[in-house]
């Protein structure tokens, strides 16, 4: 019985990163409207992003379609511009999947402004 419980715990721990990646990938894919593998500033500005309070009171950015419960405030255009500038670390005018995943380790983008 102990071995079964231990195996179940290990299996669950291995599944957590997969679930986080799936949430992160879903948001990225939703924002990448032209499906070219990158999010342009225009795509981000046209998106329906919202700000929610995370479990520890930190503000996080999510797509409105992915909200389950609770309230969220729509992001302003100025907030989206600042977010884009924050995430586009190589300053090439697009947010790559790599830049996105660096900023959204738990499926959310932490709001840093």
Give the domain CATH number at 37.
1.10.238.10
Query: Which H/E stretch holds residue 4?
Result: helix 2-31
Query: What is the residue-averaged pLDDT of the chain?
Result: 75
Give 112 or 87, the one with higher predicted confidence: 87
Q: Are strands 94-96 and 73-74 parallel, antiparallel or unpaired?
A: unpaired
Q: Does the pLDDT at position 90 exceed 80?
A: yes
Q: Which domain holds residue 14?
A: 2-110
DSSP type of residue 57: S
Neighbours of 39 (CB within 10 A): 26
pTM of the predicted structure, to 2 decimals = 0.68
pLDDT of residue 16: 40
**What percentage of residues in the chain have a pLDDT greater than 90?**
28
For residue 112, pLDDT beyond 70: no
pLDDT at residue 10 tops 60: no
107: left (phi over 0), alpha (psi -120 to 50) or beta: left
Of 41 and 13, the one with more pLDDT: 41
Rounded CA separation 50/73 (Å)? 5
Quote the CA–CA distance of 32 and 96 in Å, as a whole number: 10
Instruction: Say yes or no to pLDDT of 18 above 80.
Output: no
């Amino acid at each position: 019985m102990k071995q079964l419980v231990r195996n179940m715990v290990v299996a669950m721990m291995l599944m957590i990163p997969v679930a986080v990646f799936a949430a992160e990938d879903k948001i990225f894919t939703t924002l990448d409207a032209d499906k070219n593998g990158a999010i342009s500033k225009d795509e981000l500005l046209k998106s329906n992003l919202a700000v929610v309070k995370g479990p520890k009171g930190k503000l996080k950015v999510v797509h409105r379609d992915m909200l389950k419960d609770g309230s969220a405030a729509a992001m302003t255009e100025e907030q989206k511009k600042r977010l884009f500038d924050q995430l586009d670390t190589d300053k090439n005018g697009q947010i790559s999947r790599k830049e996105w995943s660096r900023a959204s380790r738990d499926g959310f983008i932490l709001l840093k402004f």
